[in-house]
Every structure is written in C-alpha cells, then in structure tokens.
Amino acid sequence: MAFTFEPMDEATAAHLRSGGGDSYGNTPERKLSDGTGVPCRRCMRMVGRDEPYLIAAWRSFSATHAYAETGPVFLHADPCTTEPLGRAELPAFLTSPDYILRGYDADERIVYGTGGVIKLEAIPDRIEELLGEPMVKAVHIRSSRNNCYHCKAVPATQPDLWSRTG
C-alpha cells in the first residue's frame, strides 16, 4: 500500500511562527539550535546549527478527547517547506535507531494492539502492515525515548483526515 508522511500543517506552523498561542495558549519559546536533536515537525528535517527554532505544545488531533495527546514539538522559526517522500524514503529527521508506531482509527482513537517500538529500517514495512488493517486510518510516529510526536503516515490516496488548528 502506498502511503505518505504528513508533517505539521502549514496553517499551524504559520500561526506559531507569528507568535500565536500553542495548544496551551502559550507563546512558543524561541531558541537557537546547537545542531543536534532538534527535529522540525513542519519540514521533517533537523534544524541546523545556529538556526532559530520554536518550542511549542502541539496536539496533532482535530479535537480534544482521551487519546488526543499534547506534547512539545520543535519547528524552524523561519518558514520551511516539505518535499514529497517515496515509500522507502523516511523523513530526514528520523535519526534514532527506533521509534514508537501506533495505529489510529478514523475517530482519532488508538487501535489497540498496533503500538510498538520499531527499528528505523523496519518503519516502512510496519506502516504498510498497519495501514492494511481495516480499522487503521493513520499511523503516528513518536520518539521511543521521550514519546514526542514526529509525524504521521496515511494512505497516499487519503486526504488529511484531521485538520489541526492548535
């Protein structure tokens, strides 16, 4: 099954960059990158050394409910763009040896039994497997060390199910 990786949407990124409140209503923190460990959720690349970035609380779901986790994310302080990725091409900011993958249904609820820590090189196959399950409509990729949200994978023919506003 063909799938695509979806980053933070541009409307949310623009809102945060203009000083708009994050998911908790706070102004994003502005920092300068030391060049290590700062994955931008918009362009899905690492923020380079001496580049400014923002830290904000973000809920990557369209509504609040028991499964709608909010957590810290990093974002280039200046506009950046995403580029389409092929099936075997992982987003550049996935640099750890493994990640948590979890399947979600159309109501943004975890599909139980889909979560697990997956080695980096096995991510494409696991996404394909999860998206092949009838209930799974999206797969979230999270840090296996800090549980931070990175991006989601959806079937290539499926439009973004969950419009995020904050």
Q: Residue 150's pLDDT band (boundaries 50, 70, 90)?
A: very high
d(CA 86, CA 21): 34
Q: Residue 158's pLDDT band (boundaries 50, 70, 90)?
A: low
d(CA 143, CA 39): 11
Strands (E) across the chain are located at: 3-6, 29-32, 52-59, 70-76, 98-104, 116-119, 138-143, 149-155
- Asked if residue 49 has pLDDT above 60, the reply is yes
What's the chain's Rg over C-alpha atoms?
Answer: 15
Rounded to 5°, the CA angle 118-112-62 comes to 90
Q: Residue 82's pLDDT band (boundaries 50, 70, 90)?
A: confident
Q: Is the dihedral of CA 19, 144, 110, 124 positive or negative?
A: positive
Longest Cα separation, the chain: 45
Q: Is 159 buried (19+), middle (13-18) or exposed (0-12) by CB count in 10 A?
A: exposed
Q: What is the pTM of this model?
A: 0.89
